[in-house]
């Protein structure tokens, strides 16, 4: 997959994600139409993200950030646990035997 920039007669540029398979070009996704160079660069970046998501590639730094956030949440939750009772089964069984 790659990004194709097509110039139109009107002077605008189409940004399209294209796949070539078996010698045949196929348009996968149209990103957008732009007039100036700065917008063209931003649409190309969006096209690269689209290619990465379609091909299954992931940004390793983004995954690391998510794992770091999960680790911080887990540490926060565990730090809020004030007391862990080891005799939990005994408390449950005492209630059962009181009823009988």
DSSP3 helix / strand / coil % (the chain, rounded to 5)? 50, 25, 25
Residues 8, 14 contacting (CB under 8 angstroms): yes
CB atoms within 10 A of CB 47: 24
- Tens digits of pLDDT across the chain (100 residues): 888 898 889 889 999 989 888 889 888 888 889 988 888 888 888 888 888 777 776 666 666 666 777 777 777 777 766 555 567 777 778 878 876 5
What span, in angstroms and rounded, lies between the C-alpha atoms of 34 and 74?
45
7: its two tokens: 């110039």
Global pTM value = 0.52
């Amino acid at each position: 997959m790659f990004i194709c920039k097509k110039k139109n007669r009107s002077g605008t540029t189409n940004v399209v994600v294209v796949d070539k398979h078996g010698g045949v070009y196929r348009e996968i996704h149209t990103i957008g139409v732009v007039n100036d160079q700065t917008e063209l660069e931003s649409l190309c970046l969006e096209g690269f993200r689209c290619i990465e998501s379609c091909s299954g590639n992931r940004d390793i730094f983004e995954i690391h950030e998510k794992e770091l956030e999960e680790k911080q949440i887990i540490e926060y939750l565990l730090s809020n646990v004030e007391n862990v009772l080891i005799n939990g089964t005994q408390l449950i069984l005492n209630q059962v035997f009181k009823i009988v």
